[in-house]
Structure formats: structure tokens, C-alpha cells
């Protein structure tokens, strides 16, 4: 009896490769989303500080041109923050998609591994039965020799 070989081993390796590829994409998406969240927080903090500065200057009285500069700066920060929030939402959607793809790839790989394990278990059982049969035959032959 030869060694164990799983006919779908190449398919299993390919599915493991696909799973690894999706897992890497998932990790990259997580990192991208964390970077987007940090950018949104940074822009929010920057906007709060700029709004406080504008409020302080307005309370002291500032010229109209400086008020327009501050107002346009705050408007631009708000636009950048809105854009960053849209990108963050896209990152979250992509992350959810990659999460479902990763789950699917893992399920496919694990199903083949389960098949391989079942075949290996049956192979070892058959090998043990064959070995036991050979040992039994050997005992029978020895007893026949001892009788004669």
C-alpha cells in the first residue's frame, strides 16, 4: 500500500493562496480605514481649534478681511472633513466586502481540508486493518508450522 495522496491537493493549495491574498487585502483595507479615521479626527480637531481662534478674534474685534480669511479656512476644513468622511464610509464598505470574501475563501479552504482529513483518516484505518490482517496471517502461519 503506497503513501497517502489527496487528489485535490493542488486545488487546496490554490484555495489557501486565494485566502491568503484576500486576507492581505483585508489587512490593507483595515490599515487604510484606520488612517482615514485618524485623518477625520485630525481635521475635526483642527477645525475646532480654528473655530475657537476665530471666536476669540471676533470677540476682540477683527477687520473684515481677516474674518473672511478665517471663514474661508473653516469652510475649506469642513469640505475636507466631509470628503474624508465619504472616503471613510467607502473604506468601511470595502472592508465589509473583503470580510465576506475572506469568510467565503476560508470556508472553501476548510471544506477541502475537511475532505482531506476524512480521506486520510480512512486511509490510516485501511492501513491499520491491512497491517492487522498481515499480523493475523503471520500468527496463523507460525501456529501451522508449530503443529507440523
Domains with residue ranges and CATH for the chain: 9-114 (1.10.287)
**Nearest C-alpha neighbor of 120 from the set 6, 1, 2, 25:** 6
Answer whether residue 1 shows pLDDT above 80: no
Per-residue confidence at 68, pLDDT binned at 50, 70, 90?
very high
**Nearest C-alpha neighbor of 5 from the set 113, 120, 105:** 120
Per-residue pLDDT tens for 115-128? 999 999 999 999 99
Name the least confident of 68-72, 82-86, 104-108.
68-72
Amino acid at each position: 500500500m503506497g503513501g497517502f495522496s489527496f487528489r485535490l491537493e493542488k486545488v487546496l493549495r490554490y484555495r489557501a493562496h486565494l485566502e491568503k491574498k484576500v486576507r492581505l487585502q483585508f489587512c490593507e483595507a483595515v490599515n487604510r480605514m484606520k488612517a482615514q479615521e485618524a485623518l477625520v479626527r485630525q481635521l475635526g480637531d483642527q477645525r475646532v481649534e480654528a473655530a475657537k481662534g476665530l471666536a476669540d478674534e471676533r470677540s476682540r474685534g477683527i477687520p473684515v478681511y481677516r474674518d473672511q480669511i478665517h471663514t474661508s479656512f473653516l469652510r475649506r476644513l469642513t469640505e475636507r472633513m466631509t470628503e474624508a468622511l465619504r472616503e471613510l464610509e467607502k473604506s468601511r464598505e470595502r472592508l465589509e466586502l473583503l470580510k465576506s470574501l475572506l469568510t467565503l475563501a476560508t470556508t472553501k479552504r476548510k471544506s477541502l481540508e475537511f475532505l482531506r482529513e476524512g480521506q486520510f483518516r480512512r486511509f490510516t484505518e485501511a492501513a491499520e486493518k491491512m497491517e492487522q490482517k498481515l499480523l493475523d496471517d503471520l500468527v496463523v502461519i507460525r501456529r501451522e508450522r508449530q503443529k507440523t
